[in-house]
Amino acid sequence: MKAAVYYENGPPSVLKYEDVPDPELFDDGILVANKVISIEGGDTLNRLRGDLAANPHIVGYQSAGVVEAVGRNVTGFKPGDEVVCINFHGSHAEKRLTLPQTAWKIPAGMDMKQAAAVPIPFGTADDCLFEFGRLKEGETALIQAGASAVGIAAIQLAKKAGATVIATASSKAKLDKLTDLGMDHGINYVEQDLVEEAKKLTSGRGVDVVVDPVGGPTLQQSIYALGYRGRVSTVGDAGREFIKFDLSTLREGNRSITGVFQGAEIFTDRMHNLVASHIENVHRGDLKVIIDSEYALRDAAKAHEHIESRKAFGRVLLIP
């Protein structure tokens, strides 16, 4: 099969389009012929500095396609089923392996490209807001990197929960688009002081919950933007900088911070059911997936470059 592989960590240019052996099906596994690959934020970070499971390594968490074969212990899935699936690596290829616990059937009539972009962004955003952020109706949520896939999901989920939604982005054009998705107030972090604006928009009180997929110095700003008993869910390092913050700044106002990683609970029934519900919500039109652009799998390096340029609004897809 063809795959986008790399032999060492580094910039997008380390990705090479090569022939590699097909995955070997095992008794508990599902072999999927990929039709759509959703490039997750973690894919670009893993390419930059993550461990290589093999050499060459095939990066990538999430994709959608058609079941080609199932192991003898697998029930509930059969060849021909359309599925969206997750694994810790292997999405950037024509075929990949997954498990029943990390695969979801795509509802009849649902666009596979839409389904391909649901599990990680919506599952992650939901956990950041509710499972760990404990967001309640009437509270205020600040969504950092609002134009990212997790940000777009979080804006919609927070709004539907009855929260006031503030989001950040790097341009007015992006913020204008986020208004249509449920954002009440936008902060252009390039031109405005994030903490000052967050305080101003909450009459000096500060926000109740922050979803922060950026990390680095932005995480300290997220903490400063909190109100009394405010909560930060830190969920990524999109800023490419190591996290540095002053833990003592949480004490003032009894604030708290929680690290969130969907992969830590990906094999639980709770997470499987949560993702299934969001796939159905997108299928019904209650939630929206935003696709920024599509690239051929052979152009994976260009797709990663586009993501890292911070020009994307929503998900970038690869098509094998």
Q: What is the pLDDT of residues 279-299, one digit of tens each?
A: 999 999 999 999 999 999 999
Q: Which two tokens stand for residue 149?
A: 């896939």
Q: Tell me, what DSSP letter sits at residue 57?
A: E
State which amino acid sits at residue 101. Answer: Q
Fold that domain 121-263 belongs to in CATH: Rossmann fold (3.40.50)
Which residues make Cβ contacts (< 8 Å) with residue 17, sequence separation at least 6? 2, 3, 4, 297, 298, 300
pLDDT of residue 238: 67
Torsion of CA 240, 303, 90, 273, to 10 degrees: 80
| 2-117+289-319 CATH, one of 3.30.830.10, 3.90.180.10, 1.20.950.20, 3.40.50.300 | 3.90.180.10
| Mean pLDDT across 258-280 | 96
Domain edges within the chain: 2-117+289-319, 121-263
| Mean pLDDT across 178-196 | 96
What are 77-105's pLDDT values in tens digits?
999 999 999 999 999 999 999 999 999 99
The reported pTM is 0.94
**Residue 156, CB half-sphere, CA atoms under 13 Å: how many?**
23
What are 207-261's pLDDT values in tens digits?
999 999 998 889 999 999 999 999 999 998 766 666 677 888 999 899 999 999 9
For residues 248 and 237, give the distance between their C-alpha atoms in angstroms, rounded to a whole number: 21
